[in-house]
Chains A and B, each alone.
Chain A
Amino acid sequence: METTMTRRSFLQKSSLVLAMGALSGSLRMFNVSAVQAAADPAFKPHAFLEIAPDNTITVWVGQTNLGQGTHTGIPMVIADELDAAWETIRVKPAPAADPFKDPVWHMQVTGGSTSIRHRWDLLRTVGAAARQMLMEAAAQKWKISVQKCTTKDGRVIHPEGKTLRYGQLTLAAATLAVPEKPKLKTPGDYHIIGTPRQRLDIPDKVMGRTVFGMDFTVPGMCTAVVARPPRYGASPDSYDEQAAMAVKGVLTVVPLENRVAVCAETAYAAMTGRDLLKIKWSKGSMPELNDAFIDTVFQDHLEKEGSAAKSTGDVQAAMAQASQTLTQQYKLHYISHAQVEPINCTAHVEKDRCRIWAPTQGPTLAQMTASRLTGLPPEKVRVEILPAGGGFGLRGEPDPVTDAVLLSKDLDRPVKVVYTREDDFSNDYFRPANQSRITAGLDRDGRITAWSHQVAAQSIMMRIMPRHVQNGIDPDAVSGTVDMPYDIPSHHVTYAMVDLPIQVGWWRSVGYSINAFIVESFMDELAHAAGKDPLQFRLDHMEKGSRAYNILSMAADKGGWHSPVPEGRARGIAVTACFESFAAHMAEVSVDKKGGITVHKMVCAIDCGTAVFPDAIRAQAEAGVVMGLSVAFHEKIRFADGGVKTSNYSDYRVLSMSEVPEIEVHIAQNNLKAGGIGEPVFPSVAPAVANAVFRATGVRLRELPFQTDLLAS
């Protein structure tokens, strides 16, 4: 990202261009307008915001477009502080570059619902700084004090009413220094944040114009399909290269470490050739791995002594004094991301540079991976982030980058690596399975006095960031257990790390997506054991007036918790606090005699602080319900013979149209710092439904997906 390269992308010479550069680790704003002296090349700034003389305003977004609305939400925040007219805003995708790294995580990554919440101050400051520079430019022209100027809809306004459009001021503003601490708006002055807007990427998606990773082409490119081991730890003993080469369009067969790539003129030829390789694979590292074997391993780990993740109070003493205790076990199976666009990556390795085009959620990791494999410094690896057909955490994995870079290096031409759907299922980094056991003690008044919780699960962090695993604790494995939104005087959580060769990775809301089902189901069991209303029982264990308390109350109020339930139906409720947001769901269900569950209605209440882009929040909340129900009812990966047995959507059912209930979304109104949205709206869906099913039938569902055969009467 040399300055010259950055410059070339600027629209007009007399624009005001604010850039970001990383200086001694922290991000700083620079004025890199063409009229300004050349920036110190060591800073490697990249344009962030350009205000052009024709009044168009361009915002570069370094986040991945997964359809979550970020490519509209980020410009909304900047445009609001800038007092821009929304119609003048354009958005451009940024490549992997220091200025687009997460200011908290210091990596460019789209995950953890961070896109806005980790940039809340940064984005507002950029907009506010540009606004102040434009006001100063106007004040100089009018020879008045800048304090007398105001702004509205892309104009600076003189106290006597005359105005200058931003485009008329860019040349003058471009000569000014960037203010260090521009004044930020008070929430009452927002005119774009929190307002109804249309997503900027939707028209192209509707017209079929969006180029996803799978659709990307570059001249001279070939397409590769890679045969990967069908069993963990296996490698090819033999294969029929000639059979693959005989397919029209197949160019070459390239063996890689433990896999074989077929490269062809077209994706179809590569897939056809790959299927003809007839590879004989070695046995792999654990040929005995199958569903029953996995279940035994987890049960063993429930009995093991776990590492302490939380130990508040004296659980043993509190249990001894409890008026009643309750113990239950829960089980969640491995599930797939099942994102619809198969995994892919295009790479072109040349002598002195490498280019990557990928729908990646982890551009920095992609850049580092290509740098390591090519020996080129990271700044010689340009990563273009393409729109992604879903991701849910999987697209942070660099495997496709590795294959594309290795093959491009080998073939000396651009190579696009594509997965088939079968490749996607068998090579997914699944949401980890989990078995947990909780014992709790209740006092005579029905208050929880002790909570002892053992989690058995594989660790994601051990593979990705082992330094974050300390004293045997993977923080993601226990998230949602150690920080549940309830005050319990004696609270112990232990973690028994399961060691299996199954690939596990980040999946929407990570630990919370798993542990919230367990905690919120068990809270419900305790409420019933205490003879209390499940809503009141939860509220009784929360700080009154806290955000979790309020959002749970909101879901109950909006969902009519206290109103009569329609004949034959029952209600359940659940709440979670994660990713700096608070969400609660109320489910209304009925169960037929055969055990068939119908979810009639889901009410979601969400407090994500300042609701920047309400319609995108609503869309994410609807999506959280659909995905949450899908996981509750259907999703389960099966294993056999040392590898993944599930191969396609035909044996991995996801929720369908007729199963989607009426969904209500209620957004809490406040002016707090923006929190996450994509992930917090997911975890409390499944437990709300299980809790409703219990009220309808008296049967407790302690496994995901639900074992509905338990409900047949």
Chain B
Amino acid sequence: MITLNVNGKKRSVDADPGTPLLWVLRDNLGLTSVKYTCGISECGMCTVLIDGEARRSCIVYLDEVLESEITTIEGLPEDHPVKVAWIEKQVPQCGYCQPGIMLQAADFLSREPNPTDVQINAAMDNVICRCGSHPRIKEAMHLAARLAAKQGG
């Protein structure tokens, strides 16, 4: 048995240490908000926060994260600016890609609290959303930044 820190809780898993974190979270812990789509780090749908940093869990292996804090979308509070903004701007269509995208956005906004469009484009250029929610992702990120500034202030 291996112990992982996920969303502030210690969780025991019975998995090979070389298993991609994506599958440990989905298969062993039932955290299916972490999505499988490409398996080769191309799409961003399996993104989780590892010690606050957005990482693609399909290419992170279990034995790399034994000492880390792992956060999935369930681990962000419901009033997190990103979640509030995503609802306010009605971002998701099918919604399958959104947990990963939201976590990548949350990480970016924590480092860049007042981003420009150009910075958002650069930060989010490597995620896939087939439905085409891009314009709303951009709007929601600006709104989340404003909400975070208010909460912080």
Partner of B73, one of A207, A217, A615: A207
Query: B90 touching A199 by the CB < 8 A rule?
Result: yes
A400 to chain B, nearest CB (A): 15
User: With A338-B130, A340-B128 in contact, is A211–B32 under 8 Å at CB?
Assistant: yes
Residues of B close to A654: CB separation below 8 A: 128, 130
Q: In terms of DSSP, what is the predominant structure of the interface of chain A?
A: loop
- CB neighbours (8 Å) of A649 from chain B are 38, 40, 42-43, 128
A390 near B96 with CB under 8 A, answer: yes
B1: chain A residues at CB < 8 Å are none
> For chain B residues 107-153, which have a beta carbon within 8 Å of chain A?
120-122, 124-138
| A149 proximal to B (CB < 8 A) | no
Question: Distance in Å from the Cβ of A474 to the closest Cβ of chain B?
Answer: 26
Task: Write out, one digit per residue, whether chain A residues 98-140 have a CB within 8 A of any chain B CB (1) or not (0).
Answer: 0000000000000000000000000000000000000000000
**Contact-residue bracket for chain A:** 35 or more
Does B5 reach chain A (CB closer than 8 Å)? no
Residues of A with C-beta under 8 A to B86: 202, 206
In the assembled complex, B51 has its CB within 8 A of some CB on chain A:
no
Q: How far is the CA of A336 from the CA of B35 in the complex (A)?
A: 20
B90 touches A619 (CB 8 A): yes
A67 touches B32 (CB 8 A): no
Residues of A within 8 A of B39 (CB): 420-421, 648
A657 touches B137 (CB 8 A): yes
Tell me if B64 is interfacial: C-beta within 8 Å of chain A: no
State whether A214 touches B36 (Cβ < 8 A).
Answer: yes
Taken together as a complex, chains A and B put the C-alpha atoms of A392 and B130 apart, in Å, by 10
Verify B38–A67 contact, CB threshold 8 A: no
Q: Which among A163-171, A574-582, A621-629 touches the partner chain? A: A621-629
CB of B68 within 8 A of chain A?
A: no
Within 8 A of B (CB), among A621-668: 622-627, 630, 648-650, 654-658, 660, 663
A66 touches B94 (CB 8 A): yes
Out of B43, B72, B83, B122, name the residue touching A340 (CB < 8 Å).
B43
Given known pairs A649-B128, A660-B134, the reply for A341 and B94 (CB within 8 Å) is yes
Q: Are B92 and A202 in contact (CB under 8 A)?
A: yes
Q: Does A159 reach chain B (CB closer than 8 Å)?
A: no
Contact A208 B33 (CB under 8 A): yes
In the bound assembly, the distance between CA atoms of A203 and B27 in angstroms comes to: 24
Q: Which residues of A contact B87 (CB under 8 A)?
A: 198, 202-203, 206
User: When the two chains form their complex, are residues B130 and A627 in contact, meaning their CB atoms are under 8 A apart?
Assistant: yes
- Among A615, A630, A654: residue with most chain B CB under 10 A: A654
Q: List 18 A-B contacts (CB under 8 A).
A: A68-B93, A202-B86, A206-B91, A206-B92, A207-B83, A208-B33, A267-B26, A340-B128, A340-B130, A341-B96, A342-B36, A389-B95, A421-B39, A619-B90, A623-B133, A649-B40, A650-B42, A657-B127
Q: A205-B95, A340-B94, A622-B132 are in contact. List 17 more A-B contacts (CB 8 A).
A: A206-B87, A206-B92, A206-B98, A207-B73, A208-B72, A209-B33, A210-B95, A214-B36, A266-B27, A340-B97, A391-B94, A421-B37, A656-B128, A657-B121, A657-B125, A657-B134, A658-B122
B residues sitting closer than 8 Å to A (CB atoms) are: 16, 19-20, 23, 26-28, 30, 32-33, 35-40, 42-43, 45, 72-74, 78, 83, 86-87, 90-99, 102, 120-122, 124-138
Residues on A lying within 8 angstroms of B by beta carbon are: 66-68, 198-199, 201-203, 205-212, 214-215, 217, 248, 266-268, 338-342, 387-392, 420-421, 615, 619, 622-627, 630, 648-650, 654-658, 660, 663
